[in-house]
Amino acid sequence: MNKRCACCHDKLPSVSAVRNHRYCRKPACQKERKKLWHRQKLTSDSAYRESKADAQRKWNCANGGYYWKEYRANHPDYVERNREKQRERNRKRPRKRDTPASPVIAKIDALSPQNVIPFGRYRLVPLATNMIAKMDSLVVEIGVVSGG
């Protein structure tokens, strides 16, 4: 039986120790195999997905947003490409009659009416209709107005 690599389609060597052998040993093929495994694991395993999200949150808190700020400052070509890609996505998005010409994009975890907002200080940032809204752009001071 001539098995072929699922990535590069080269002939696979017979490996009795590996059941359902589908990828060859080339780095690009192994990278593809791991990428597909990771994608499947994220969709099927909620504990794994939560663990990855928690690790991402911790990393973001530890780095305070400086990583991406510095990366964008050092890679203007990345910034311009990202802006152009976003413009393309905006053009392709279906529009409703009552929406502005340049719709605002909100992150999935942006504040919603059912969110409970704790007391504290927040900073307000003006939002133009052609800007992208991020969950950390709402900043305002919230406190008790009356005790009754």
d(CA 57, CA 46): 16
**φ, ψ dihedrals at 4, nearest 5°:** -120, 150
Give per-10-residue mean pLDDT for the chain (148 aa).
88 81 92 95 93 91 82 94 92 70 58 62 62 57 57
**Residues recorded for the chain:** 148
Angle at 58 between CA 52 and CA 63, to 5 degrees: 125
Q: What is the pLDDT of residue 53?
A: 92
> What's the pLDDT score for residue 34?
96
Q: How far apart are CA 12 and CA 21, in angstroms?
A: 8
Q: What is the pTM of this model?
A: 0.46
- Specify the DSSP element, H or E, that contains 132: strand 132-133
The whole-number pLDDT of residue 86 equals: 92
